[in-house]
């Protein structure tokens, strides 16, 4: 079994980008952390980052039949993208849960970050816990798949 971790725009700069908001962990370190944690359950983690909306949509479309679930940080597209929301809803309908993660607490920030278009189609949302949020999302997907105590 495998999980897809999908990172949206600007997350390639993680660790160097506004570290007071997003932390000092790099994307490569985050991915390695998730891979190590999932390995305890015999689950593989595939990671993909893109700054392009369509590339993220393409990866979501590939998820059914491949991944037991998706951990998705849509970055700024969370606030703007009907197309990404529709892609999340499409794969949810095909049995692939998506847990949306934001490193920062978007509800404590600027008003334009309070509206999350993608969140309404997601199985769950975690915001404000930094890198820990991804580990919790992994735990959530494993529980939904019956691979960890839920
Ligand atoms: C973010 C929050 C978004 O508002 C922002 O545009 C990002 C990162 C987060 O992880 O906290 O790029 O998704």
Q: Which of 102, 108, 114, 137 maximizes ligand 1 atoms within 8 Å of its Cβ, making it the mutation to test the pocket?
A: 102
| Distance (Å, whole) CA 21 – CA 85 | 25
Instruction: Compute the distance from residue 3 Cα to the ligand 1 centre, in Å.
Output: 21
Nearest-5° angle of CA 138, CA 139, CA 141?
65
- Write the DSSP string, the chain: -EEEEEE-TTGGGTTTSSHHHH-S--HHHHHHHHHHHHHTTT-EEEEEE-S-HHHHHHHHHT-TTT-SEEEEE-GGGGGT-HHHHHHHHHHHHTT--EEEEESS-GGGS-GGGT--TTGGGSSEEEESSTHHHHHHHHHHHHHHTTSS--
Report, as residue numbers or ranges, the catalytic residues.
22, 102
ipTM score of the complex?
A: 0.99
Convert the pLDDT of each residue in 99-142 to its tens digit: 999 999 999 999 999 999 999 999 999 999 999 999 999 999 99
CATH of the structural domain 2-144, one choice from 3.40.50.150, 3.30.413.10, 3.40.50.9100, 3.30.499.10: 3.40.50.9100
Q: What is the pLDDT of residue 30?
A: 98
Convert the pLDDT of each residue in 58-85 to its tens digit: 999 999 999 999 999 999 999 999 999 9
- Give the position, in ligand 1's atom list, of the atom nearest the Cα of 79: 4
Tokens in use for 128? 């404000």
Q: What is the pLDDT of residue 149?
A: 74
Instruction: Compute the distance from residue 139 Cα to the ligand 1 centre, in Å.
Output: 21
8 Å CB contact between 66 and 3 = no
Q: Is the pTM of this model over 0.95?
A: yes
Q: Is the pLDDT of residue 87 over 70?
A: yes
Convert the pLDDT of each residue in 3-59 to its tens digit: 999 999 999 999 999 999 999 999 999 999 999 999 999 999 999 999 999 999 999
Instruction: Compute the distance from residue 45 Cα to the ligand 1 centre, in Å.
Output: 22
Tokens in use for 132? 């820990």
- Give the position, in ligand 1's atom list, of the atom nearest the Cα of 74: 13
Q: What is the pLDDT of residue 148?
A: 81
């Amino acid at each position: 079994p495998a999980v897809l971790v999908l990172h949206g725009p600007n997350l390639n700069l993680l660790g160097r980008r506004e570290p007071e908001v997003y932390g000092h962990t790099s994307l490569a370190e985050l991915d390695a952390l998730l891979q190590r944690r999932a390995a305890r359950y015999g689950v593989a983690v595939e990671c993909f980052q893109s700054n392009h909306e369509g590339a993220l949509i393409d990866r979501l479309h590939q998820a059914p039949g491949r991944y037991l679930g998706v951990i998705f940080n849509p970055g700024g597209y969370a606030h703007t993208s009907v197309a990404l929301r529709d892609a999340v809803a499409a794969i949810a309908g095909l049995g692939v849960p998506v847990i949306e993660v934001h490193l920062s607490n978007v509800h404590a920030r600027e008003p334009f970050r309070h509206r999350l278009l993608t969140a309404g189609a997601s199985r769950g949302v975690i915001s404000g816990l930094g890198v820990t949020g991804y580990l919790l999302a992994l735990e959530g997907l494993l529980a939904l798949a019956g691979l960890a105590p839920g």
